[in-house]
Amino acid sequence: MTGRRRRRADQAVGHGRPPGVTREQVTDWVAAYERAWRSPGASALAGIFTPDATYRQGPYDEPITGLPAIAVMWEAERDGPDEVFRMTSDVIAVDGDAAVVRVEVRYGDPVHQEYRDLWVLRFADDAHCAWFEEWPFWPGQAHTAGP
């Protein structure tokens, strides 16, 4: 039996995929995030985040809540839409409304700063992100708590 037939059969007996996002939707969301970062202003954020979204720039950072607050952070954190960077990503896991994405960003030409991040995401029913938690890592970052 093909995967397509199996899915239809499972859904017919009430065993369809649980509500949430697909790997393709998460990949599309990451691409939309990058487009928004490259766009002037912060109006594109409404197309990727829920109005009451929570955004953590690090796992221990205070959450930034709501589109207006996220927009202020967004504008403060980037050099503008002409900022030179290369971003690659790989969707690691998707389960229901949650996803984990590995992202690498290299700023400048030549590269003067780079990050490897894990993004922990939770999505609303409309595939807008309701929870964004970033785990940023960069070269030379300590791996242990130090004095």
**34 found inside a domain:** yes
Q: Is 116 inside a domain boundary?
A: yes
pLDDT averaged over every residue in the chain: 86
Omega before 81 cis (within 30°)?
no
* CB distance 45 to 30 below 8 Å: no
Confirm whether 144 is domain-assigned.
no
What pLDDT score was predicted for residue 63? 96
How many domains in the chain? 1
Q: Residue 91: which domain range?
A: 19-137
Chain CA centroid to CA 109, Å: 24
pLDDT band at 136 (very low <50, low <70, confident <90, very high): very high
The residue ranking higher by pLDDT, 136 or 17, is: 136
**4 pLDDT more than 60:** no
Region of poorest pLDDT, from 5-19, 35-49, 115-129: 5-19
pLDDT digits (tens, 9 = 90+) for 67-89: 999 999 999 988 887 889 999 99
Task: Determine contact, residues 65/52, Cβ cutoff 8 Å.
Answer: yes
**Which CATH number characterizes residue 73's domain?**
3.10.450.50
Look at residue 31 and tell me if it is in a domain: yes
Residue 147 belongs to some domain of the structure: no
Instruction: Specify the DSSP class assigned to residue 6.
Output: H
| pTM metric for this prediction | 0.83
